[in-house]
Amino acid sequence: MGGRRLSPGESIEALAEAVTVLRALWTPGDPVVFEGNHHRLAGAAPGPFPAHPIGIWIGAIKRRMLELTGRMGDGWLPSSFYSPPGAVARQAKVLDAAAEDAGRDPAGIRRIYNVGGTFSPLPGRGFLDGPAALWAEQLTELVFEVGMTGFVLAPGEDAERDLRTFAEEVAPAVREAVAKERGEPEPVAERPVTLTPLDDLDETGRPHAPKQDPAALTPEQLRLGRHLVQVHDGYRQELRQVQDAVEQVAAGHADTGALRSAINRLSVRQNHWTLGTFCATFNRLLTVHHTIEDESMFPAVLERDSTLAPVVKKLEQEHEVIAELLDRLDAACVALLADQAAIEQVRAEVDRLVRVLSSHFAYEEEELVEPIARLGIRI
C-alpha cells in the first residue's frame, strides 16, 4: 500500500500505539494529543463515539505479541491451526504473566479459540478427530486449562453437518460440563435455532422513481415493457402448479384408509417425487431469472438511467430474501421424502414464497416496466 516496511519489533510498537490511538478517539473528552514513533495526533477531535464499549482483540502467537495482548488487549484470538492445544496452553501462560505484571486480572481478557477438525464415529489420533463427545471433552479441558471463554468453528467440506453437530451436540455438552464442574446451575435448554431468511419484504421502505406518461411510448416500446410482465406471469403459473402439487400430496395424507393400500402408498410416493420435481425445477428457473436480472438487466437500466439506482438496489436485496426462501422450500421438499408429516412445512414455505414473490413481482413491474419500455431495454 506504499507504507513504510517495519521490522517485527517496530510493528509491535506501532500496534501498541494504534491501540492507544483507537481508545483515545473512542473516549469523549478534550482534543487528543499523542506523539508516538509511528502515529501522531495533534489535537484530534475524538469521536464518533461507540454506543457500547468496543473490545480490541489480538491474534497473538509469539512472545512479544502475547505480552502486548496481556498488557493492552481486551481479547485474545488464537487458532488451533497455528497454535494447537499444547502450544496455546504455553502461550496463555505468557499472556497471563504479562497481564499480572501490568496490574491486570488475566481472567478479564476474553479468549476465543478458532478450531477445526473431523467428526467421525471413532476417535482418531489428532485434536478434534472423532465423535461429538470427544470434541466436547477436549474443548472442556481447554476451558479449564487455558481459560477459553468461547470457540469459533471452521467447518470442513460438509459444512452444514459440521455446524449442526457442533451447535446441537458439542456446544451444549461443553456448557453443561463447565457448569457442573463450577457448581453452577445447569444451563437452561435453549430453543433449537432455526435458520430463517430475512422476514417479510420491507414494503414500506421501497423507493419509487418518477414515471413518464405511457401514452408517449411507441407500440414497440410498450411491447418491450410488457415482456417483463409476461416473464413474471410464467413464474406465477409455475407457482400455481407447485401449490396444486402440495395440495394433492396433502389430500393423499388425509385419506388414511387409502394409505393402507400398497398401491396408494406408491401413488403418494409418486406425488412426493412430482412435488420435488416441481420445487427443484422452479427453484432452478427462478434462480436463473434473478441472475440474468442482476448481471444483465439491472446494469443496463442503470447505464441508461442512474436515477433508478435506489429501486435496483432494493430489488437486488429482495432477490437475496427470495433466494433464502427457495433454499427453505428445497429443504422442506427433501424432508418430505423421509417424513410425510413434513407436508405442512412444505405448504407453509410455498405459501410464504407465493406471498413474497407476488409482492416482489408487483413492485418490479410498477417501477421497471415503464423505464424498460422508454429506454428500449430488451430482456
List, for residues 18-46, the tens digit of each pLDDT value. Answer: 999 999 999 988 999 999 999 999 999 99
The residue count of the chain comes to 379
For residue 157, what pLDDT is reported? Answer: 84
On whether the CB atoms of residues 26 and 50 are closer than 8 A, the answer is yes
Residue 260 predicted with pLDDT over 70? no
pLDDT of 68 reads 97
pLDDT value of residue 288: 74
Round to whole Å and give the CA distance between 54 and 83: 26
Region 344-373: mean pLDDT is 88
Of 319, 303, 297, the C-alpha closest to 368 is 297
Q: Which band of pLDDT confidence, cut at 50, 70 and 90, is reported for residue 71?
A: very high
The grid cell for 356 is 413474497
The whole-chain average pLDDT of the chain stands at: 84
Choice among 102-106, 118-122, 209-213, 372-376 with the minimum mean pLDDT = 209-213
Sign, CA torsion 226/227/230/236: negative
40 sits in which H/E element: strand 40-44
In angstroms, the CA 111 to CA 372 distance is 55
Q: Are the CB atoms for 228 and 372 separated by under 8 Å?
A: yes
Percent of the chain with pLDDT over 90: 41
Neighbours of 329 (CB within 10 A): 22
Q: Which residue type is seen at 106?
A: P
pLDDT level of residue 86 (50, 70, 90 thresholds):
very high
Q: In the prediction, which pLDDT does 275 show?
A: 54
Please report, in angstroms and rounded to a whole number, the separation of the first and last CA atoms in the chain: 42
What's the one-letter identity of residue 104? Answer: R
Please list the alpha-helical segments (H only) found in the chain. Answer: 8-26, 63-72, 85-101, 132-146, 159-165, 171-182, 219-254, 256-259, 262-292, 298-304, 309-338, 343-375
* Calpha distance 203→362 (Å, rounded): 11
- Give residue 141's pLDDT band: very low, low, confident or very high (50, 70, 90): very high
CA dihedral angle for residue 356, residue 196, residue 163, residue 59, rounded to 10 degrees: 100
Q: Which helix (H) or strand (E) holds 43?
A: strand 40-44
Give the single-character DSSP code of 102.
Answer: T
Instruction: Say what the pLDDT of residue 267 is.
Output: 38
Look up residue 1 and give its DSSP letter.
-
pLDDT of 148 reads 96
- Asked if 88 and 146 count as a contact pair (C-beta separation under 8 A), the reply is yes
Q: Which residue has the higher pLDDT, 271 or 62?
A: 62
Average pLDDT estimate for 36-57: 92
Least confident range from 141-150, 214-223, 239-248, 297-306: namely 239-248
The better pLDDT of the pair 199, 356 is held by: 356
**Residue 21 near residue 40, CB atoms below 8 Å:** no
